[in-house]
């Protein structure tokens, strides 16, 4: 990759934006605008352009990249869809196939994700894993580049995907120029910065649900398996088996995720010092809390508060 813009020896970059039924139009038009900005800046330096085509039915033309955007109405595609067969043909001709958010389902139905690292919106994790168990889902990432397959996470991750493709085609200098023009951050985001812990409570196991409610009410307690099993009215071995089956997590991981989620809320809504928040969610050692919080969210507690805090910090007040 070069740090200068492309010159006239570089060919134009042809991109298909798949306008499938239910596709998010804002993403399609936003990507078109992003590529237009990049094209204008490239051509002003004597370089090529990104040629965009919105596709709602199969075409004979060959593309360098094919993008399946997000969907706001639950559209997921099926293996019988003609657009999926067309995308497979484009892939076989050398196109890089890309998706944003639920667009990854279309790539999955195309049979292209077996053994592949892939991301989608973190809230779609369970649905995606059930549909495509052979894919290596990594929902903590905003974007995963697997060479001929590129997937991006949440609804607005089309910005990350668009800038990534601009970089592949035109180099980092063009990415920077495009990002500055659009007033967006060209890098550094991860989905885990935004991801919330949403435990399953619809599993139908009343004993385990009782433990989940108890943990919600006692985030500052370092409960042992024996104590939690007593809350459930079960033996330790039976409790562990049923808790894992109901929630998908061992009790220790579940409790850790729950504490971090409660810490997120306190960082967002209060001015309380980080050490006080650590204590409130069960960490007597602030350094241990700092390690766990960053491991789960990808940000330090102070960085998280600066990015997502809803309470303005007054003079003389500090987040740590």
pTM of the model: 0.70
Mean pLDDT of 242-252: 94
Q: Where in the chain is the domain with CATH 1.10.10.60?
A: 206-308
Could you give the 3-state DSSP secondary structure of residue 227? helix
Residue 320 has pLDDT above 70, yes or no: no
How large is the average pLDDT for residues 194-222?
A: 85
Delimit the CATH 3.40.50.880 region(s) of the chain.
13-193
Structure tokens that stand for 144 in this block: 């995963």
Q: 13-193: what fold?
A: Rossmann fold (3.40.50)
128 in Cβ contact with 120 (< 8 Å): yes
**Dihedral of CA 46/48/53/59: which sign?**
positive
Distance separating the N- and C-terminal Cα atoms of the chain = 40
Q: Which pLDDT band holds residue 8 (cuts at 50, 70, 90)?
A: very low
Sign of CA dihedral 58, 63, 69, 74: positive
Mean pLDDT over each residue of the chain, to the nearest integer: 88
pLDDT in tens, 40-98: 999 998 889 999 999 999 999 999 999 999 998 888 988 788 999 999 999 999 999 99
The pLDDT, as a whole number, for residue 317 is: 43
pLDDT of 1 above 70: no
Indicate if the pLDDT at residue 287 is higher than 60.
yes
Residue 6: per-residue pLDDT: 41
What DSSP designation does 254 have? H
Q: Is the domain defined by 206-308 classed in CATH 1.10.10.60? A: yes
pLDDT for 66: 97
């Amino acid at each position: 990759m070069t740090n200068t813009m492309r010159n006239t020896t570089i060919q134009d970059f042809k991109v298909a934006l798949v306008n499938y039924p239910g596709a998010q139009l804002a993403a399609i038009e936003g990507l078109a605008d992003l590529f237009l900005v990049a094209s204008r800046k490239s051509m002003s330096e004597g370089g090529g352009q990104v040629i965009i085509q919105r596709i709602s039915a199969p075409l004979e033309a060959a593309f360098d990249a094919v993008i399946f955007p997000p969907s706001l109405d639950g559209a997921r595609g099926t293996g019988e869809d003609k657009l999926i067969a067309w995308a497979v043909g484009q892939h076989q001709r050398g196109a890089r196939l890309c998706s944003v958010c639920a667009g990854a389902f279309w790539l999955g139905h195309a049979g292209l994700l077996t053994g592949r690292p892939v991301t989608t919106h973190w809230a779609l994790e369970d649905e995606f894993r059930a549909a495509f168990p052979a894919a290596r889902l990594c929902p903590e990432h905003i974007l995963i580049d697997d060479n001929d397959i590129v997937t991006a996470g949440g609804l607005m991750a089309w910005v990350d995907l668009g800038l990534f493709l601009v970089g592949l085609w035109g180099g980092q200098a063009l990415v920077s120029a495009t990002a500055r023009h659009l007033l967006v951050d060209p890098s550094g985001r991860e989905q885990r910065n935004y991801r919330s812990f949403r435990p399953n409570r619809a599993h139908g196991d009343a004993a385990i649900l009782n433990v989940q409610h108890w943990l919600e009410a006692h985030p500052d307690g370092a409960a042992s398996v024996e104590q939690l099993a007593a809350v459930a009215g079960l033996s330790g071995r039976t409790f562990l088996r049923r808790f894992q089956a109901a929630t998908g997590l061992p009790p220790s991981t579940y409790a850790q995720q729950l504490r971090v989620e409660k810490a997120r809320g306190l960082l967002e809504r209060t001015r309380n010092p980080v050490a006080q928040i650590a204590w409130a969610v069960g960490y007597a050692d602030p350094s241990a809390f700092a390690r766990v919080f960053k491991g789960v969210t990808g940000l330090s507690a102070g960085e998280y508060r600066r990015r997502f805090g809803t309470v303005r910090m007054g003079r003389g007040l500090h987040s740590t």
